[in-house]
């Protein structure tokens, strides 16, 4: 069994590395049972199932992901990350600057808030594939 990271920054980086590979099982081992995830301004979710339910559909159309940490800082259990999230879609790469605020307790992420520029996201979403409803 792989030992999980101990420092709050290491926990966050381990989580992001697993998410980038769409390895949700590994990523969710870094998340507490009652984690609060809020990708502002979207709806807040709680727990591992809520985090998985928010992330899997978003990452489903991606062919490759790079969550590039530009800066990271920690103050006790609180971690701040400035990132450039890069996603390769069938139409090419899209990039979204993101700031994350995390709390890590006992080796698990308990709070995760993400902040991004809404107009930038709306431009990116124009390139995002829309899942088929199956009723064609």
- Rounded to two decimals, the pTM is 0.84
Tell me: the pLDDT tens digits for 4-17?
Answer: 558 999 999 999 99
The CATH architecture of the domain made up of 8-125 is Roll (3.10)
Tell me: the pLDDT tens digits for 100-121?
Answer: 999 999 999 999 999 987 777 7
Tell me: the pLDDT tens digits for 16-67?
Answer: 999 999 999 999 999 999 999 999 888 899 999 999 999 999 899 999 999 9
Give the C-alpha distances (Å, rounded to integers) separating 97 from 13, 30, 35, 84, 127.
17, 23, 23, 5, 16
- Bond from prior residue into 41 cis (ω within 30 degrees of 0): yes
């Amino acid at each position: 069994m792989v030992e999980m990271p101990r420092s709050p920054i290491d926990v966050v980086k381990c989580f992001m590395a697993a998410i980038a590979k769409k390895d949700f099982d590994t990523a969710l081992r870094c998340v507490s049972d009652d984690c609060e995830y809020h990708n502002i301004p979207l709806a807040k979710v709680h727990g591992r199932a809520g985090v998985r339910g928010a992330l899997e559909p978003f990452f489903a159309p991606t062919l490759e992901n790079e969550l590039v940490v530009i800066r990271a800082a920690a103050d006790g259990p609180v971690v701040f990350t400035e990132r450039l999230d890069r996603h390769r879609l069938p139409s090419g790469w899209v990039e979204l600057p993101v700031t994350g605020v995390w709390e890590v307790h006992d080796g698990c992420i308990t709070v995760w808030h993400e902040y991004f520029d809404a107009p930038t996201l709306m431009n990116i979403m124009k390139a995002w594939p829309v899942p088929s409803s199956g009723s064609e």
